[in-house]
Amino acid sequence: MRRVVLTGPESTGKTSLARRLAARYDAELSPEFVRDYAIARGNRLGYDDNEAIGRGQMTAEDVAIARAQARGASLVVHDTDLLSTVLYHDHYYDRFPPWMEEAARARRADLYLLLDVDVPWVPDPARDRGDRREEMLDHFRRWLDAVGARWVLISGHWAERERRAVEAIQHLL
């Protein structure tokens, strides 16, 4: 089974593209855990939330993997993953629980689709870094390289993003 993660800064189309790719490949999809967690808490998160967010993200991934295995699927699509969780905790708090980085490295996916910031920012209750998307994109690049992840930058208008993502997945498969 292959695992593909959509990752990158806020408001780059990760969730929409993840859903389209999962449908296209009849793949299991794991949702981004932190989004609902943050909204449920009025987007007021602190360092003490890291543990719950990390464990919740891993559970979401594991559930999708187990569903895929149960039906013999060859692909799981993750709308972010634990590595993204580590990256954001590093960005917001300059630290993260030590187990998280080790677990993120051990759980590294087969392919990361890093979504570029060349699409308009769309504000919503869970987003707060519209003015820092370039900085965050660089942060993602550094982290993906640091953990030895295989990644592809996905840019362009929405249809172009999907075309490039499909091309990258086809190459993986």
Q: Can you tell me the distance from the alpha carbon of 81 to that of 61, in angstroms, rounded to the nearest whole number?
A: 7
pLDDT of residue 10: 87
pLDDT of residue 130: 64
pLDDT of residue 14: 95
With beta carbons less than 8 A apart as the criterion, state whether 21 and 27 touch: yes
Encoding tokens for residue 122? 């769309």
pLDDT of residue 128: 67
Consecutive 10-residue runs of the chain (173 residues): their mean pLDDT?
95 95 97 88 85 94 97 96 90 87 94 96 69 89 95 96 98 94
Please spell the DSSP secondary structure of the chain, one letter per residue.
-EEEEEE-SSSSSHHHHHHHHHHHTT-EEEPPHHHHHHHHTTT---GGGHHHHHHHHHHHHHHHHHHHHHHT-SEEEEES-HHHHHHHHHHHHS---HHHHHHHHHT--SEEEEE-S-S-----TT---GGGHHHHHHHHHHHHHHTT--EEEE-SSHHHHHHHHHHHHHHH-
Q: Can you tell me the distance from the alpha carbon of 80 to that of 107, in angstroms, rounded to the nearest whole number?
A: 12
Q: Can you tell me the distance from the alpha carbon of 157 to that of 139, in angstroms, rounded to the nearest whole number?
A: 22
* CB neighbours of residue 126 within 10 Å: 15
Encoding tokens for residue 10? 């806020």
pLDDT of residue 91: 85
Q: Which residues pair with 115 in a beta bridge?
A: 154
pLDDT of residue 93: 87
pLDDT of residue 133: 87
Q: Which residues pair with 2 in a beta bridge?
A: 75
Q: Can you tell me the distance from the alpha carbon of 151 to that of 16, in angstroms, rounded to the nearest whole number?
A: 19
List the domains of the chain with CATH numbers. 2-172 (3.40.50.300)
pLDDT of residue 123: 72
pTM equals: 0.93
